[in-house]
Structure 1
Amino acid sequence: MSYRKDPRVDQYINALPPWQQDICHQVRDLVHAADPDVEETIKRTVQPYFVLEGNVCALLAAKDHVNVFLYDGGLSPDPQGIITGGHGNKTGRTVAIREGEPINGQALGDIFRAIIATNRAGGWRKVTSGQ
């Protein structure tokens, strides 16, 4: 898949251990596959974000996993139960992916597409307020 890469995101990913690089590359491909208009940037000094009319997701490598932060206000359905944290959070949730765990690309892609649709509808704050 071909898409415009932010070299700062490459720098973040390339500094990680190989297993975390692999996870980040897979997630990066999935978010771009969800919509070709997704753009990459760095926020909070070093954290990769993927945006389209608002935040879609962000990556943060931890010692034993990679967090994929989902910026959806808790709206996106998760029928396959891949969301691992933030279930009661009103702004976002997380999917923690550990070394050796397969990524459920279909489920994660579905969530990305739902977040993008919400962003295009004005964002989760607008959608949940009914304005």
Structure 2
Amino acid sequence: MSPAGGPGSSRDPRVDAFIGALPGWQQAICREVRDLVHAADPDVSETIKRTTQPYFVLDGNVCALLAARDHVNVFLYDGGIVPDPAGIITAGHGNKTARTVAFREGEAINAPALVEMFRQIIANNSAGGWRKLKQGR
């Protein structure tokens, strides 16, 4: 595994295999999201959960990837508490554990907004996780 995300990060070859099996446009989206989550914190690691789904974790789940026929979903494990000033959340507004940002072929990724959300999720995970933080609200 190459530490392409920096010191402490790990790239899981199973995530490489997941991405490599996708159509080219979905590969591009997944690679960019993968790079952004590692840019948010170099200690993020990768794993596979639910048999085939790539997850990015640091003190808890940060996000997961799911490729659908006409889009790629990025599930943000934030309990709905991370601010979304750029309005990038596309679904799951009422979900108690995760919200979704969906990307379709040809759509640009708002990298600064997504990285900021990743950083906030990671900070929340380090502070005990969104469940604990929600109880204190």
Mapping for residues 1-131 of structure 1, pairs under 5 Å: 2-3=4-5, 4-130=10-136
Distance 1:114 1:51 in 2: 13
TM-score, normalised relative to structure 2:
0.93
Distance 1:91 1:5 in 2: 25
Distance 1:32 1:104 in 2: 16
Shift of 1:18: 0.3
TM-score, normalised relative to structure 1:
0.97
SS at match of 2:83: coil
SS at match of 2:64: strand
Task: Give the AA of the match of 1:14.
Answer: G
Distance 1:51 1:73 in 2: 15
RMSD between superposed Cα atoms in Å: 1.2
Unpaired segments ≥5 residues, structure 2:
none
Distance 1:86 1:5 in 2: 28
Distance 1:11 1:75 in 2: 32
Moved over 2 A (4+): none
Distance 2:33 2:127 in 1: 24
Shift of 1:94: 0.1
Q: How many residues of Structure 1 are paired with residues of Structure 2 in the alignment?
A: 131
Task: Give the AA of the match of 1:98.
Answer: R
Distance 1:17 1:40 in 2: 21
